[in-house]
Amino acid sequence: MAEEFKPGCQRPPIVKPAPAADVIETSVMKEASKPMIKVGKPAPDFTAPAFFKGKFVNVSLSEFKGKWVVLCFYPGDFTFV
Amino acid sequence: MLSISVDSVFVHKMWNDHEISKMIGHDVPFMMCSDQDGGIGKSYGIYDEDSGVETRGRFIIDPDGNVQAFEVLTPPVGRNVKETMRQIQAFQLVRASGGTEATPAGWRPGKQVLQPGPELVGNIWQVWKVEQAFD
């Protein structure tokens, strides 16, 4: 029976099917080789769809070269805080 | 200013139209980006695999495209916008000085800055007081 949960800022963890052993091995290797963000180093560039003043646009971080940018990640729309 | 989450741009539109615009009296003034597979969040190290969302990661990026600061919070605690503004003002001051000035703890616009150099080594106590970090 599906269990009711109270909505909060934290999304309940997703229980995923356990990946096959060989998949785990490769994903761990990928994780280890991924460089961490460092202050003073370039921000990873990206292009993403965005909503902006009634329109849908594609935006790239690199468009803002020459300006200060605050990039704010958040858990999701309608998440209270 | 760019905001970004794993929501689709359609959900961003609904959030803007039905909640945020009512809160602020106009449309969200910045682009609300969509990172549906979490790929961008992963490249910034703030994607939470367990819940499939992005944590509250905030990155200050300078005009050269370099990360100057970041802060990451778990979902239930909101950010301090004034502190973000203060940090940007501090980084802008340092950049404008060509790296000759530094902003001590508790600095905000108008407060004392320091000029790091050989004479200042071991002499901070003479020119800067701990109380300045808190006033």
Sequential DSSP letters for A54-81? TEEEEEEGGGGTTS-EEEEE-S-TT---
Specify the CATH number for the domain of residue B55: 3.40.30.10
Look up the ipTM and state it.
Answer: 0.94
Contacts of A66 in chain B (CB under 8 A): 63
pLDDT of residue B135: 86
pLDDT of residue A4: 83
Q: Can you tell me the distance from the alpha carbon of B32 to that of B92, in angstroms, rounded to the nearest whole number?
A: 25
Q: Can you tell me the distance from the alpha carbon of B107 to that of B83, in angstroms, rounded to the nearest whole number?
A: 11
The model's confidence at residue A59, banded by pLDDT at 50, 70 and 90, is very high
Domain that holds residue B91: 2-97
The domain locations on chain A are 47-81
Q: Can you tell me the distance from the alpha carbon of B114 to that of A20, in angstroms, rounded to the nearest whole number?
A: 57
Do A76 and B66 count as a contact with CB atoms less than 8 A apart?
no
CB interface of A with B, residues 46-65, below 8 Å:
46, 48-54, 56-57, 59, 61-62, 64-65
Contact A41, B68 (CB under 8 A): no
Top-confidence residue, B119 or A12: B119
Do A71 and B4 count as a contact with CB atoms less than 8 A apart?
yes
Among the ranges given (A1-5, A36-40, B19-23), the one the predictor scored with the smallest mean pLDDT? A1-5
**Nearest by CB: B3 against A57, A66, A72:** A72
- The domain tally of chain B equals 1
Which of A41, A29, A37 is closest to B47 using CA atoms? A37
Mean pLDDT value of segment A7-36: 66
pLDDT in tens, chain B (135 residues): 999 999 999 999 999 999 999 999 999 999 999 999 999 999 999 999 999 999 999 999 999 999 999 999 998 999 999 999 999 999 999 999 999 999 999 999 999 999 999 999 999 999 999 999 998
Find the closest chain A residue to B3 by CA distance.
A72
B86 in contact with A at a CB cutoff of 8 Å?
A: no
pLDDT of residue A6: 81
A-B interface: how many C-beta pairs under 8 angstroms?
A: 177
Does residue B104 lie in a domain region? Answer: no
Q: How many residues does chain B have?
A: 135
Does residue B118 lie in a domain region? Answer: no
Which of B2, B1, B13, B5 is closest to B75 using CA atoms? B5
Does residue B53 lie in a domain region? Answer: yes
pLDDT of residue A23: 61
Q: Can you tell me the distance from the alpha carbon of B1 to that of B15, in angstroms, rounded to the nearest whole number?
A: 18
Does residue B111 lie in a domain region? Answer: no
Q: Which SS3 state, helix, strand or coil, does residue B91 take?
A: helix
